[in-house]
Amino acid sequence: MNGDAAVERDLRRFHSVPPTFDVAYHLRELVRVLLPALICAALLAGAAYFYVNSEPKQYENSVTARIESGASTATFTDVTVNTLAPPFIALSKSQPVLELTLQRSHVKMTPEELSNNLTVEVLTSPSLVQVSARADNPKDAIALAEAAVASLDTTTVNIWNDKVDGDISRLQETAGTIGDQMNALPRPSPQHDVLKSEYDSLIEQTKQLQTTQPNRISLLAQSGETTQVAPKPMQQALVVFVASLIVLAELFAFLNGRIGRRTNNAWLRRMAHKHGYGLDRATAQDQAWPAVTQIQLNKRSQVGSGPFALYARESQSAKTLIETAVGTMESAASGTDTPARLPVHSLESEWWRDMDNADRSLAVVVVDTKQTGRSALGDAFDRLDDYGIPVQLIGLSGEKSPGLSASSGADHKRDSTA
């Protein structure tokens, strides 16, 4: 019997101590369901791979463009250099640039779709940008990238020309008004000199605007190569595999021993861990108790009312094992001062009403792993716990069961008294 589990059970029942999480037990349960979880996760990942791979492919082409400033490079500072690229990045999402790009590339796509498939990023130098375009085929991706650079340049020049033309018109209008005021004043006069100075300044500003050039962007390098950016079936299949493996392993570990009616090995392991019972194994061909069970019987034979055995009435193999093992015990104890005594009851009988069973030192419960009857066993476990009787479970199968042996060693490291 696992002492830690028994003590934890009593603390929960009688002192309202919150349950703890047994990491080692949980990991063992995960290992037991790892193979089916791997198979199911692989199937889901394969389905995800073929589904993603069937989607339309998307290709990307990236070009390098250079920004040429209209101002003199001698006036550049760190601040002004870093302001070259942002206007072009902002313009790349504007409606005129998107529409002009589609018009020049002859690609069937809406401006909204192009906005999601066109990116402009600054490279290591503030005057260099990378323009990337994505499309359903390599030819369209290349055409969109080149057309985007040309459209950015054309739109920038048009915006600049419109702004300069408007500024020049306003300056010329203001200069004309000041000229009329000058002509109405006598010469020389202080007022005429002030207006003359303003007039000359406006003329100088007009000349500067007429000679200033806008910032331009031009294609610097076009590799002509495209890369498939979507779909990515392998990466997405790996994500599905890892996620489904974790979820399925946890789900299978949770359901293992919880669904169904049979008292199989998984259910027995769960009951042993839940109640803090010892767990051993035996086969229908055995003629005596398993070694660990026999040791427990020997240790507790003189304690209280002694041990007793329980079995399900419908399990003939469990009854046969108990009768054979008890006969072996009696034969081994014949001629000694302490003859072997081991009362036997079926789970369906009202054994719990017998006053002698209230002080039993050990209950050996033989469970056929191929039979049903979880409910009756669960009721028996609750009554045994109410009496505080230590329990030794024996999983009975037709042949050796490695599923029980994995947990038997861990469950018998420590022993708890009644």
Q: Are residues 178 and 277 in the same domain?
A: no
Cα 252 to chain centroid distance, Å, stands at: 17
Q: Are residues 379 and 293 in the same domain?
A: yes
Q: What kind and span of H or E run contains 99?
A: helix 95-105
On whether the CB atoms of residues 347 and 240 are closer than 8 A, the answer is: no
Q: Please tell me whether the overall predicted TM-score, pTM, comes out greater than 0.75 for this model.
A: no
Q: What is the pLDDT of residue 40?
A: 97
Q: What is the pLDDT of residue 418?
A: 28
Question: By three-state DSSP, how is residue 266 classified?
Answer: helix
Q: Are residues 63 and 202 in the same domain?
A: yes
On whether the CB atoms of residues 292 and 280 are closer than 8 A, the answer is: yes
Domain that holds residue 111: 58-230
Residue range 210-253, pLDDT digits in tens:
888 899 999 999 989 999 998 999 999 999 999 999 999 999 99
Q: Is residue 32 part of a domain?
A: no
Question: By three-state DSSP, how is residue 301 classified?
Answer: coil
Last residue of a domain, one of 209, 230, 251: 230
- Write down the number of H helices and E strands in the chain: 15, 10
Q: Is residue 213 part of a domain?
A: yes
Residue 222 CB contacts under 8 Å (≥ 6 apart), including other chains: 63, 142, 145, 146
d(CA 275, CA 248): 26
Q: Tell me which amino acid residue 99 is.
A: E
Q: Are residues 328 and 202 in the same domain?
A: no
On whether the CB atoms of residues 328 and 297 are closer than 8 A, the answer is: no
Residue with tokens 């979507």: 230
Q: What is the pLDDT of residue 10?
A: 60
Q: What is the pLDDT of residue 1?
A: 52
The segments of the chain whose pLDDT lies below 50 read: 3, 74, 400-418
Q: Are residues 85 and 12 in the same domain?
A: no
Q: What is the pLDDT of residue 16?
A: 64
Q: Is residue 40 part of a domain?
A: no
